[in-house]
Each structure stands twice: as C-alpha cells, then as structure tokens.
Structure 1
Amino acid sequence: MYSPDDAQRYADRHTTPESPLLARLNRETHVQLLHARMLSGHAQGRLLSMLSHMVRPRRVLELGTFTGYSALCLAEGLTTDGLLHTVEQNPELETRIRRYVREAGEENRIQLHIGNARELVPALTETWDLVFIDADKINNDTYYELVLPQVRPGGFLLIDNVLWGGKVLDEYPVKPSDKDTFAVRAFNDKVQADERVENVFLPLRDGLLLVRKR
C-alpha cells in the first residue's frame, strides 16, 4: 500500500516543473528564512498558475505575499491589461519580494502593499476576479467577509491551509488554547454553509479551499 508521501512524490514528478526563477526563490526561501513551509511551493504553485490561466483574471488580490512565490504563479494567467495586488504585513520581506518581481519582469503587473490588509483592502477600489487568502488563519473569516463583496459574481476565492496540519479533523484532539485551529474549523464550516458561494475542499498540501461566488 502506498503512503501519502509516495503519492505526493509521484504527483510532483508528473506536474510541470517550476521555472528556474521560481525554483531559485523556493530554494532561497527554505535556506534563508524561518517558517519556509509558508511558501506555496511547486505543486500548489502550478495549481495556482493553472487556475489563473483558466480564469484569465483582470484583477487579482492576494493576502499574504510571504516571499512572492504565489504572486508570481498567479500573475502567469493575468490578462494583458491585468493587475495583481498583493498585501504583506512583514516589511522585512519587501526587498526580497520586489527583487523577484523585478527579475520576473512583472513590475507593471504586480503591485505590492506593505501593511495591514484590514486597513489596505477597503481602499482598493477594484472588482476582483480571483482572490487568494493566505494570511494569518485566525482572521480568515474577517478577510473573507472583507473581500467577498468586492468579488464579481462568478469570481473565485482560494483559501490556503484549511487542513491546518490535519488539526481540523474531528478525530484530532484540540487544546482549548489552540485558537488558530478553532478558527480554521469554524471558517471551513461557515463556508460550507454559506449560500452565497459554491465550494470545493482540495486536500492538496495543507488544504486549499476553492470558492466560487454565486
């Protein structure tokens, strides 16, 4: 019987490789930064790119840039006049993000905002075709309610880390102090019951929730 790790390795071998630039960013992130697992990585990055190519978005919003890997993947499917706004709270990551955006030749299509998403997003007077939420998990619901009114009917949202290391499963004992796990569980349940949207839970990597606004 195969293991999940065996299946993932097989899947990786049968997924289009990441570009040399993305591979370098992937490697640099893992070597130089703590919490490198926050990076989307090869398989998820190719899925983000594929979905972006399918949707052909004119306006994309990302909450949680980290080192810029997912932003570069999402930008691959933008229309010729498309623009991706990405929000990162940690100013220490700004130089690295801008360097890779520049090397990718995406300076005119990726706009980086440094600061608190709850303050910055309301000032972005856009209608979103695609939104990727990959920020602090305890505020998933806050971000969801913040951006959903700005998403066009038929537009899509993606929310990352909805498996939360498997802690959301009913069989997993959760300590009362684990507020993040309770928040992710509650958010997943909310979206499942939300009549404003349709949703598919993808158990890729740490879980990706694909949502379409009705």
Structure 2
Amino acid sequence: MNAAKRYEIFRRLHEDNPNPETELAYSTPFELLIAVILSAQATDVGVNKATAKLYPVANTPEAIHALGVDGLSEYIKTIGLYNSKAKNVIETCRILVEKHDSQVPDNREDLEALPGVGRKTANVVLNTAFRQPAMAVDTHIFRVSNRTGIAPGKNVLEVEKKLLKFVPKEFLLDAHHWLILHGRYVCVARKPRCGACRIEDLCEYKAKTSDD
C-alpha cells in the first residue's frame, strides 16, 4: 500500500471520528492501568461493569491494595482469569506505592516491570493516558492492518513497528483507537462489513463481501 492511500484512510477515519476514545471507563491514569490489566482476554463491557462497582470503593493504589487479593476478587470475579488478575493488580499497587509515589509511570520500562503489564498494556497506557505515540496491537488491529494492507506483518511486534513507521505523523496519536474501533465494528473477524466500510475503495483485501 502506498503512502497516499494510507493518508486518505486515516484522513477519513479522522473525519468520521475526530476525537476517538477507548471504550474502557476511567478517569485517571491509574484507573486506566487497572482496567487494561483486567481487560486481557475479556471485553471492555465486562471490565466496565466490574470497575463501576470497584472504583467508587477503591480507585487508588493504596485503597485497592488494602482490599487484598480476596477483597479485590469479589469485585472482579465476573471477569475471566480473575484470580491471577487480582494477584497481579494487588502486587502492581504495592509497587506503585513503594517505588513510584503511587503514580503510574509514564515510561515503558517501569510500566512493563509491573505484574500483569506486557508490551500491549504499556502501549495503551502510554498512548491513552500520556498521549505518547505508542501502538497497542491487539487482535483487531492485527487483523485490520494485515487485511487492508495498511501494515502487514507476521506477528504483533512486526505490525506495531510498521504502523509506527507508516501511519502519517499527524494521525499517529489516535490511530490506535481508530483501528481498534474499525476492527471491532466494521472489519470484523468472520465476515467484514465491506458494504458499510468508509475505506472499502482504499482497502487491498481481495475477498471483500458484497453486503454490509
């Protein structure tokens, strides 16, 4: 795919949604961090239901740590893998209090040192909370990048590096949100809704569907 096509794709995505946002509910970088940790192999809707009950009770590292693993588990038990996630969150809260003055780090190294935080989670926090040009490649973004031809790659890291290289600079900060929403609602896994797609004429996918 050439640069002109990529530019027009992101220009249209921007035109349709000038200020895209994550669908995870949060009001502070810490709330976002915890929500993203909980969202692994879970839906944003499911995470939001749990945090809607948790955050009014505890939404700081000190407060969540005070709940302990058992106490936190009661709030997040509707989420998949909640036992291991509860342990990770409690340990993450301890580290934030002891090493980071209860603040979420704004750099990759310190974020990835937190339990339950991998490269993708760190990228979400860096991009969404701190507005850094990071690209969190999940299954939706991986699929859209390969299917459309925007940034094809054999693995997540390859796609991430290509997106950072190929997405026009003026659109880079919001590209993560546009691509994830496009994959979630239009360029879906089993049968993409090509007939309802804003970028169908620019997309290089060979097996386009005829209806929406």
TM-score exceeds 0.5? no
The structure richer in strand per residue is 1
Q: Which has the larger radius of gyration?
A: 2
| Higher RCO (C-alpha under 8 Å, 6+ residues apart) | 2
TM-score of Structure 1 vs Structure 2, range by shorter chain: under 0.3
TM-score by length of structure 1 reads 0.24
The structure richer in helix per residue is 2
TM-score by length of structure 2 reads 0.25
